[in-house]
Amino acid sequence: MVRLDGRSLTRADVLAVARGARVELDAAQLRAVQRTADFLVEQVRRQEPLYGVSTGFGSNADRLLGAHRLRGDAEGDPSLNEELQENLITSHAVCVGEPFPEEVVRAMLVIRINTLMKGHSGVRASTLEAYAAMLNAGVVPVVPKLGSVGASGDLAPLSHLAIVLLGKGEAFYRGERLPGGEALARAGLAPIRLSYKEGLALNNGTAQMLATAVLAAGRLSKLVELAEHCAAMSLEAFAGRLRAFDEHVHALRPHPGQVASAARLRALLAGSTLADIPYHLVPRAKPWLPGSWPNAALAAFRFDIGWDWVPADQRHGRERFYERFRPFRGGKKHQPQDSYSLRCVPQVHGAVRDAIAQLERVIDIELNAVTDNPLLFPDLPGARHVEEQVVSAGHFHGMPIALAMSYVKAAIPVLAAISERRLAKLVDPATNDGLPAFLVGNEDGTDSGCMIVQYTAAAIVNDLASRAHPATVFSVPTSANAEDHVSMGANEGRHVLDMTQDLARVLALELMTAAQALDFRRDTINAARRLAREADLGTFAAKIGNAPPDPHPLRPRFLAECDALRAELASAPEFGPSPAIAALHAAFRRRVAFIDRDRALDRDVAEAVRFVEDWIDGP
């Protein structure tokens, strides 16, 4: 149960209600709500001209309501004030397109109820109680996705919310799409009649864009965490270098997201025996051949391994290096740094974290803000006339949320792009540091492995980039130019929420590829260790290319250095990823198996995406 008081709604509360939690209205705050509604009734009794109460809306604001209809009143007609509010809702519910998912609409409802609980909008307590009852009963209005320009708030979609309260429109109830009145009746609820300003209060606000922002921020906070797990697994698969993530390094450029990302990588990679492994211990994978291994047990490997010896006459100027590292070139290149997609993860992921943090900061303010118009201050000290207590302002303008969403919108393809670059490096034999081409054994030349997985990721990244143009920069005036600058924040929020789904797909593809690469990296190094333990020097030395012939003056030195490499591998403990990455890898492998040869990968890709979605929905 989430208690609503207009002051303490959190992102976690909204997510809980979106997923089915019930709400209750704070009794003390309801009295404040009713105080404002009673104030409004008194002003109407005094015949004070009030925007949206005794006048029309928008460009009709100069039209004052009369006491009677010009064509005459019929028995049973609502008052003009009531008709004004009902017509506002029924005429504005004009959105088109597919309806929003129920979690978006439930988030819109709880946000709208909470902002009206602030007690500055003029709605009656009974109206908010009816809204809360509808939400708790599981009546979910049908709200098509397209129709809001983000000022004056989300007029059209919020009208689709409110119209069901009137017994009109459409709603989902227990999975069935029904006329609004029938949905209310099945839930044991009755429609209501709107009073002064209530239609305007119900549809004039930022609830749609804010609901999508909350849901998107919730997904993105999980996705950036997963992106760091994916990056860490990819780094393990590369047997990469960790010094770029050192705490003292990031203290010199302390952007909060960057510092947090580096710390997260350090924690994820703690205990790895693959990262920072000496270059010479990492063999490169070679295609398996029937004679690759000296016995049947070793022949079960899906690959062969090898190194190249560096003769003494090729070590000039690098003597100090070869004092620290043995003279063998295997899978890892002798260089002090990884490519940007690995080394710069804190800088890139951290910047995305900062964009999400900015969005969360804006959301946290907006969740407990008043966003309709006009604003009512019945107890304003020193007020001399009603114009000081009923103030027309612009809190419905969605630009604070819209610009924060634009920031995140640009960040999503950035996170997807660096993920795709890691994936591309893993499948490319020119850049994957000795792993098999396309991460498959392919001894017969018939397998493509993960080749086309990268194509799919590239296609999604391109699509995300093409959708990242900010909607906020293109205002289209509305309401006969009375609303001459709008935020387009509703489109921005809808775009961002949709884009999180494709970001999840790219991360799923990286995870699938990184898991495959990690299996190969771990197994090739441990195969070398096992060979060093089980084979004689001659068999081990046969894995090393560029060897001097026998006899040759350098042959004894070559064999001595081979034996030293063999001894170092034999004495090493088994190599593997950090505990955190090993756990992630094991969880993933329970759902997606290793690709030993080509098979239909569509089910694997779909299961990888489901794995990521389960991650997002998890604790």
Catalytic sites, residue numbers: 51
Cis-peptide, bond into residue 327, ω within 30° of zero? no
Three-state SS at 491: helix
Q: Which two tokens stand for residue 399?
A: 């630009």
Identify the helix (H) or strand (E) that includes residue 411: helix 399-427
Extended beta strands in 49-121, E state: 96-99
Distance of alpha carbon 108 from alpha carbon 110, whole angstroms: 6
Residue 505 and residue 422 in contact, taking contact as beta carbons nearer than 8 Å: no
Q: The tokens 């990244």 sit on which residue?
A: 461
Distance of alpha carbon 35 from alpha carbon 379, whole angstroms: 9
Task: Say how many C-beta atoms besides its own lie within 10 A of residue 613's C-beta.
Answer: 16
Distance of alpha carbon 246 from alpha carbon 252, whole angstroms: 11
Residue 266 and residue 243 in contact, taking contact as beta carbons nearer than 8 Å: no
Distance of alpha carbon 63 from alpha carbon 73, whole angstroms: 19
Strand order through the sheet with 176-179: 139-141, 170-173, 176-179
Three-state SS at 550: coil
Distance of alpha carbon 400 from alpha carbon 487, whole angstroms: 9
Distance of alpha carbon 428 from alpha carbon 439, whole angstroms: 9
Q: Which two tokens stand for residue 116?
A: 């009206």
What count of Cα atoms within 13 Å lies in the side-chain half-sphere of residue 570? 14
Distance of alpha carbon 418 from alpha carbon 500, whole angstroms: 15
| Helix pair angle (11-18, 345-366), 10° resolution | 80
Distances (CA, A) of 432 to 426, 436, 510: 5, 8, 14
Q: Which two tokens stand for residue 152?
A: 């004056």
Distance of alpha carbon 547 from alpha carbon 545, whole angstroms: 5
Distance of alpha carbon 347 from alpha carbon 342, whole angstroms: 10
Dihedral sign computed on CA atoms, order 573, 577, 580, 582? negative
- In angstroms and rounded to an integer, the radius of gyration of the C-alpha atoms of the chain is 32
Distance of alpha carbon 180 from alpha carbon 360, whole angstroms: 34
